């Protein structure tokens, strides 16, 4: 089994993700190869919470230009985690509200 800290890369802090925290939903950038079961187990192990549901999205990297040179940002995967009603909240996000 892979290390949970290799699956969860970083939290994703946006205006929409902050509004979803009221519904007990938290957003993370995760490893592109991770599946929903691995993501669920990693969040439960790292933060000590109970996960009800995991939604994942593959995000395409944007095309960027600097003068004549054109490049592309890396593709990445986003996961939205919904906690159960009896689970505690993730304390990491509490200071950002």
Task: State the CATH architecture for 4-85.
Answer: 2-Layer Sandwich (3.30)
Which long-range contacts does 53-61 make (Cβ < 8 Å, 24+ apart)? 53/81, 53/82, 54/79, 54/80, 54/81, 54/82, 55/79, 55/80, 55/82, 56/30, 56/80, 58/32
Give the residue, 20 or 1, on which the prediction is more confident: 20
Percent of the chain at pLDDT exceeding 90: 87
Show me where the domains of the chain are located: 4-85
Q: Which residues sit opposite 19 in a β-bridge?
A: none
Confidence at 92, pLDDT banded by 50, 70, 90: confident
Residue 46: count other Cβ atoms within 10 Å of its Cβ. 15
């Amino acid at each position: 089994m892979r290390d949970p800290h290799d699956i969860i890369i970083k939290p994703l802090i946006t205006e929409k993700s902050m509004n979803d925290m009221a519904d007990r939903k938290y957003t993370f950038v995760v490893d592109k190869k991770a599946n929903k079961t691995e993501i669920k187990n990693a969040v439960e192990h790292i933060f000590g919470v109970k996960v009800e549901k995991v939604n994942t999205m593959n995000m395409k990297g944007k095309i960027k230009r600097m003068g004549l040179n054109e490049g592309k940002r890396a593709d990445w995967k986003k996961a939205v985690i919904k906690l159960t009603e009896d689970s505690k909240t993730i304390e990491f996000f509490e200071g950002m509200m």
